[in-house]
């Protein structure tokens, strides 16, 4: 075998490796941009559903993923519904990722009296809601009619959450996905992995 043939084979092999790597990177970017993405929980606003130090995957195509670099979205599978834990861009800067629970959708009337939530005038039990300050007096919210094209989102940790009660309804165009499951969890105080939470579905 001549040196030219060996050189050609090396170039061919190198080109094959480069194509594999480039293809893998492109597919990974497409998956991240349009299908699934990881998020980190930096605060206590969703306790006890989500803890500070949790890492989760979110379904981005369910509500219609936003296509990078252009102002349009892929077709949605469905709209968000009450109870969904959603990731979105904070309306205040449209950059920071927030995660809260969808409480109501457009056309529904919401009222929060103390610890009691009312949707369209009917009290709705909440097993996930947490009130860390006991029975102290709280500012009531509503009645509030959710406008078209928007949803209302609250944190599960009601006494420690900056949410729709303070900055208003969330434009559905700012939605980024629905939380799916935890793939990792780190207890920052104990500096240890919360192994029991890994793989938990987010409800």
Strands 141-145 and 170-171: unpaired
Distance CA 182, CA 58 (A): 9
Q: What is the DSSP letter of 195?
A: G
Is 185 considered catalytic here? no
Token readout for 30 is 């497409």
Tell me which of 60, 66, 100, 130 is the catalytic residue: 100
For residue 54, the SS3 value is strand
How far out from the chain centre does Cα 134 lie? 28
Q: What is the DSSP letter of 130?
A: B
Distance CA 99, CA 155 (A): 8
Locate the DSSP E strands across the chain: 36-40, 54-59, 85-89, 97-105, 109-113, 116-119, 122-123, 141-145, 150-154, 170-171, 175-187, 192-193
Is 116 considered catalytic here? no
- As annotated, the active-site residues are 45, 100
């Amino acid at each position: 075998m001549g040196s030219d043939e060996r050189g050609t084979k090396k170039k061919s092999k190198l080109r094959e490796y480069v194509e594999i790597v480039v293809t893998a990177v492109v597919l990974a970017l497409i998956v991240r941009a349009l299908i699934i993405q990881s998020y980190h929980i930096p605060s206590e606003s969703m306790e006890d559903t989500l803890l500070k130090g949790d890492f989760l995957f979110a379904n981005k195509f369910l509500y219609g993923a936003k296509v990078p670099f252009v102002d349009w979205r892929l077709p949605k599978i469905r709209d968000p519904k009450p109870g969904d834990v959603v990731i979105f861009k904070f309306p205040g800067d449209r950059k920071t990722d927030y995660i809260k629970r969808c409480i109501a959708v457009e056309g529904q009337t919401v009222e929060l009296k103390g610890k009691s939530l009312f949707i369209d005038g009917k009290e709705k039990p909440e097993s996930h809601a947490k009130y860390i300050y006991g029975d102290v007096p709280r500012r009531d919210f509503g009645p509030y009619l959710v406008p078209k094209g928007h949803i209302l989102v609250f944190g599960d940790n009601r006494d420690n959450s900056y949410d729709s009660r303070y900055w208003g309804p969330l434009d559905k165009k700012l939605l980024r996905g629905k939380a799916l499951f935890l793939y990792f969890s780190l207890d920052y105080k104990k500096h240890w992995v919360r192994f029991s939470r890994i793989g938990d579905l987010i409800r």
